[in-house]
Amino acid sequence: MIPDLNRRVFLCRLASLLGGTFISSIVQATPPPEKGAKHTVEKGETVWGIARKYGVDPQEVLQLNRLEKPYTIYSGQSLLIPGTVKDDPPSGEENADRKHVVQKGETVWSISGKYNTTPTEIIELNDLKKPYRIYPGDELTIRGSSPSRSRQQGIAWLCRLPEGVRGRRWRYIIIHHSATRTGNAAIFDSHHRRLGMTYGLAYHFVVGNGTGSGDGEIEVGGRWKRQLHGGHVRSRQMNEVAIGICLVGDFNRTYPTRRQMENLVPLVQYLMDRYNVPKRRVVGHRDVQSTDCPGKNFSLTSLRGKL
């Protein structure tokens, strides 16, 4: 949770900066139905209900099917479902080049994480020029990609330290939510500096929800690159030894998105392995301080079960 500030004042300020609304996807308590190429709409169904059924973002369903306000659908209508079987290469084709169609909110980095490659490889392979902008509908070539393969290689690339920077002896990983519906690392960094934090962004990593950054995109803070103490809990002693990861969202009102959780798990796994952090020391903000962060709808038990 955003530390040391009046939550209501922060939300008002943030709303004035960002505006708009956010439609979240739900993390299913039980496994969702197998994704297929199409879904036939039944009487009484809505886009949001169908998206929840398949464990995908409603906004992706709207975009993929080019639905416009008021997003009316009809019984018997066929809808394409994001993340269908065509997203996974057939057996034996893991090393073949393939194509990725850019979706709204995606960045070169978020795509590289999905396919276990690096942003540099995508940039060079597709001859992208600075500032490396990509747009919904663009088709990118991905070399040797496989979304189902472990993302650890991409996470390791992301977490690499600049030459000459020594890693700290991290002992804990603390999970937060921003307690806001929208945001990104830059917005939080600016706010924390206004609060007097010399090093800015209190967290080491921020996992976006598709508003200020890509859905599931992991943004690396300056504190991580410089291996500085965190500013995400009140205890100075804990800040010295705890990695702070903040998921954008208010998880007292909604849930983490599917993509946030898909990328949070390998990030935490990598940090646990790299710094020898046991599972019992992967905790929520509420476990070390009197707060409800990361929200009643974020299950630490579920997260630990995936580690």
Structure tokens at 60: 């992706």
The rounded mean pLDDT for the chain is: 78
Q: Which two tokens stand for residue 229?
A: 């103490």
Amino acid at 7: R
- 252 is written with which tokens? 């007292």
Q: Please tell me the distance from the alpha carbon of residue 51 to that of residue 58, in angstroms, as a whole number.
A: 5
Has residue 293 got a pLDDT over 50? yes
Q: Which residue has the tokens 């790299």?
A: 274
Task: List domains and CATH numbers for the chain.
Answer: 7-21+162-306 (3.40.80.10), 38-80 (3.10.350.10), 89-147 (3.10.350.10)
pLDDT tier for residue 48 given thresholds of 50, 70 and 90: confident
Phi, psi of 283 (to 5 degrees): -130, 170
Average pLDDT over residues 284-301: 94
What is the band of 152 on the pLDDT scale with cuts at 50, 70, 90? low
Residue 5 — very low, low, confident or very high, per pLDDT cuts 50/70/90? very low
Count of CB atoms within 10 A of residue 216's CB? 25
Q: How far from chain centre, in Å, is Cα 276?
A: 23
Listed ranges 31-35, 51-55, 91-95, 274-278; the one with the highest mean pLDDT: 274-278
Rounded average pLDDT over 192-201: 93
**What tokens were used for 241?**
């030894």
CA angle 151, 154, 158 (to 5 degrees): 135
Tell me the C-alpha distance between 103 and 188, whole Å.
Answer: 25
User: What pLDDT does residue 116 have?
Assistant: 63
